[in-house]
Amino acid sequence: MKLLRYGDPGREKPGVLDSEGRIRDLGGIVGDIGPALLAAPESLADLDIESLPLVDGSPRLGPCVTGTGKFMCIGLNYADHAAESGMAVPSEPVLFMKATSAICGPNDPIIIPRGSEKTDWEVELGVVIGRPAKYVSEADALGHVAGYCVINDVSERAYQIERQGQWTKGKSCDNFGPIGPWLVTPDEAGDPQNLGMWLDVNGERLQDGSSRTMVYGVAFLVSYLSRFMTLHPGDIISTGTPPGVGLGLKPPRYLKPGDRVDLGIEGLGSQHQVCVADV
């Protein structure tokens, strides 16, 4: 099942994609695609998608989940990306947090912060928690996952690396967390460790990888994070990026107003963003 949210920012409605790729309204079934639904998805078990009202036109897509309490990210989780960044593969997952205020729709603009000269791109597999997870085993971890989505972990490298402190300040600017277009349930997403990933800038393919080359897989990451904090329904884990980011190019390349970024993950849909300057 491909769950989504559509409509103006802050006024999104719940929806689902039908067999022909059309949006059907879920408003008569659930209040929103948020923690309550993710923790108890049984209400959708016998859903007849084709009988739901069709949504007219091509509305804006919002973030595919709402009510996210924690936006956890994993750094350097692809060995070849660590190498291009000039950093060693970590002996344990590198954790950092992205502010939830960075979350936006999959096709909303990338807002380049004032004074930024090193805004970068990162296609990543997103994991959305369903059942609460605390001290879960790796064997049981995927049973706590509500679904998967595409994430662009937009990053300002000077803020992240050169401005002292932790990475969060370079990861949390407004619109630095496009999520969606859909939340794809595990039964439809398939093996999360075998999904092709890609990203283009102005039509040029710069990232072309697969989740199978992760250093730490999804089940391990859910189990690992649950040792340090309880993961709640709606929490998001962004699992790292394959090589091809602007920081790793020679010479490095970064985004500027007017640039277009297109990215996607096999079976999870695609995103399309135009870069604009903050005002």
Per-residue pLDDT for 259 more than 80?
A: yes
Amino acid 88: pLDDT: 78
Per-residue pLDDT for 43 more than 90?
A: no
Per-residue pLDDT for 84 more than 80?
A: no
| pLDDT band at residue 200 using 50, 70 and 90 as cut-offs | very high
CA–CA distance, 276 with 70 (Å, rounded to integer): 27
The whole-number average pLDDT for the span 199-228 is 97
CA–CA distance, 238 with 234 (Å, rounded to integer): 13
Q: φ, ψ for residue 159 (rounded to 5)?
A: -65, -40
Q: What is the pTM of this model?
A: 0.95
For residue 147, what are its two tokens?
């679904």
Per-residue pLDDT for 81 more than 80?
A: no
The whole-number average pLDDT for the span 223-241 is 98
For residue 1, what are its two tokens?
């099942």
Number of other residues whose CB lies within 10 A of the CB of residue 252? 12
The whole-number average pLDDT for the span 263-274 is 98
Per-residue pLDDT for 167 more than 90?
A: no
Q: Domains in the chain, start-ordered, CATH in brackets?
A: 62-277 (3.90.850.10)
Q: Is 150 exposed, middle or buried (0-12, 13-18, 19+ CB in 10 A)?
A: buried
Amino acid 279: pLDDT: 86
User: Which residue has tokens 């998001």?
Assistant: 236
Kind and range of the H or E run holding 204: strand 204-210
| pLDDT band at residue 166 using 50, 70 and 90 as cut-offs | confident
Per the model's pLDDT, the better-predicted residue between 198 and 164 turns out to be: 198
Per-residue pLDDT for 72 more than 80?
A: yes
Per-residue pLDDT for 12 more than 90?
A: yes
Measured CA to CA in angstroms, residue 41 lies from 3, 49, 94, 183, 189 at distances of 11, 15, 31, 13, 16
Amino acid 42: pLDDT: 86
Amino acid 114: pLDDT: 95
> Of the given ranges (29-33, 40-44, 225-229), which has the lowest mean pLDDT?
40-44
Per the model's pLDDT, the better-predicted residue between 89 and 149 turns out to be: 149
Amino acid 89: pLDDT: 81
Nearest of 118, 106, 126 to residue 195 by alpha carbon: 126
Amino acid 37: pLDDT: 96
Per-residue pLDDT for 85 more than 80?
A: no
Number of other residues whose CB lies within 10 A of the CB of residue 195? 19
Per-residue pLDDT for 165 more than 90?
A: no
Radius of gyration of the chain (CA): 18
Average pLDDT, the chain: 95
Amino acid 158: pLDDT: 93
Q: How far, in whole angstroms, is CA 103 from its chain's centroid? A: 9
104-163, pLDDT tens digit by residue?
Answer: 999 999 999 999 999 999 999 999 999 999 999 999 999 999 999 999 999 999 998 888
Kind and range of the H or E run holding 141: helix 138-141
CA–CA distance, 228 with 176 (Å, rounded to integer): 25
140 touches 60 (CB < 8 A): no
Nearest of 16, 7, 14 to residue 184 by alpha carbon: 16
Amino acid 261: pLDDT: 98
